[in-house]
Amino acid sequence: MSGSSAKALRARPVAAADSATASSIVTPLKPANRTRRRVRRGETLFGAGDPFGTLFVVRAGHFKSLASSANGQVQVTGFPMAADVLGLDGIDTGFHQCDIVAFDIAEVFVLPFAECEQWARDNAHGQRLMRRMFAREITRGHDHMLLLSATRAEQRVAMFLLELSERYRRLGESRSRFALRMTRQEIGSYLGLQLETVSRLLSHFQREGFIQVQGREISMLDFPGLWQLTGHTPDSFRPMIEPILDAQGNLPLVADADNGPAHR
């Protein structure tokens, strides 16, 4: 009966190796020049079932991450963009658990996991960064769980816009004008809502003067108003964390005296 559908998670044949080489720009693995990989619009960086071997750090572009549950339904679990780390989900089983699909022409740094581990062993600073990378992923999950279970649709959509805005701000882009890369349906999936509900609420926010929305173009007009809708305050954002790779794709090597764990 449901046995066949249960395999959905692993059903996807491993075609990663092909797609990996197909669109890769391979550069020598020099400390100065990290390997990069380019992904075109609609292509997957990796898919559920692919063997895990490397992490990726987004250099440019926008993605969606899709988790498919055992019964076959697919859900959007995040919208990774520049500086975000991808691939952590594969560490548990040795195989990736979700699909990462590019919204536009994107480029990622390829960060072999063995290198990360070596780096963590050799370097106290590296170990700390690795640790925080994991921990951040965990708290991100907790935050989203809270959002999904304890809020209403209006709050979710408002929070979604504010979070997106904040992420753009942290990347040095405008926090008040940006384009959504995803469809209403994808937003809905991410927030646990139907696409119509998302659309209605965006229209509603516009009527109330909180935002201006034209298709995927968003202008944030009233931050305090939106925050009030959420019931939270701007300082509920988690602090920015140090990037795991610098702009050239190098692992920062820091000679630090402070060797203790969990320094704030």
Partner DNA sequence: CGCTACATTGATGATTGTCAACAAGTGTGG
Partner DNA sequence: CCACACTTGTTGACAATCATCAATGTAGCG
Q: For residue 67, state whether it binds DNA (rule: CB under 7 A).
A: no
258 binds, among DNA, a second copy, none (CB under 5 to 8 A by kind): none
Q: What residues from 158 to 197 belong to the interface with DNA (CB under 7 A)?
A: 180, 183-185, 192-197
- CA R_g for the chain: 19
Q: How far apart are CA 84 and CA 76, in angstroms?
A: 16
Q: For residue 129, how many C-alpha atoms fall within 13 Å in the half-sphere facing its CB?
A: 23
Q: What residues from 197 to 256 belong to the interface with a second copy (CB under 8 A)?
A: 227-228, 231-233, 235-236, 238-239, 241
Q: What residues from 73 to 112 belong to the interface with DNA (CB under 7 A)?
A: none
Nearer to a second copy, 1 or 255 (CB): 1
Q: What angle do CA 11, 17, 18 make, to 5 degrees?
A: 95
Q: Are the C-beta atoms of residues 16 and 47 closer than 8 Å to each other?
A: yes
Per-residue contact track with a second copy, 28 to 57, x per CB under 8 A?
Answer: ------------------x----xxxx---
Alpha helices (H) along the chain: 3-6, 8-11, 16-22, 113-122, 124-150, 153-170, 184-191, 195-207, 223-230
Nearer to a second copy, 153 or 221 (CB): 153
Q: For residue 213, state whether it binds DNA (rule: CB under 7 A).
A: yes
Question: Count residues contacting DNA (CB under 7 A)?
Answer: 20
* 3-class DSSP assignment, residue 26: coil
Q: What residues from 80 to 99 belong to the interface with a second copy (CB under 8 A)?
A: 88-95, 97-98
